[in-house]
């Protein structure tokens, strides 16, 4: 009998680009700015948090229009 392949669900932080600023919003913790290559910036300044206040005021469906990647996906399975 051959062993079946398992199914795995992988979840990643949602990545958004709003007004030219790339940032992630993980399931736990707050938003954080990213460099263009996707690595986290070392600091989040007042300008970033002001942008987040503006972004959070948008309706959820409009926020999703700015999402460039992230979320959960199923990998494998039979």
**3-class state of residue 27 by DSSP:** coil
Task: Find the distance separating the first CA and the last CA of the chain, reported in whole Å.
Answer: 15
So what's the pLDDT on residue 39?
A: 94
pLDDT tens for the 78 residues of the chain, in order = 455 567 888 889 999 999 999 999 998 889 999 998 889 999 999 999 999 999 999 999 999 999 999 988 888 865
Query: What per-residue confidence (pLDDT) applies to 50?
Result: 98
User: Where in the sequence is the domain holding 61, given as residue range(s)?
Assistant: 9-70
Is residue 13 a part of any domain in this protein?
yes
pLDDT of residue 78: 58
Per the document, the length of the chain is: 78
> Has residue 17 been placed in a domain?
yes
Whether residue 57 lies inside any domain: the answer is yes
Number of folded domains in the chain?
1
- Asked whether the whole model's pTM tops 0.85, one would answer no
């Amino acid at each position: 009998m051959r062993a079946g392949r398992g199914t795995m669900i992988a979840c990643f932080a949602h990545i958004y680009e709003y007004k030219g600023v790339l940032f992630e919003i993980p399931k736990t913790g707050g938003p954080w700015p990213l460099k263009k290559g996707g690595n986290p910036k070392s600091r989040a300044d007042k300008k970033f948090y002001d942008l987040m206040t503006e972004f959070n005021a948008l309706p959820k469906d409009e926020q999703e229009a700015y999402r460039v990647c992230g979320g959960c996906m199923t990998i494998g399975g039979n």
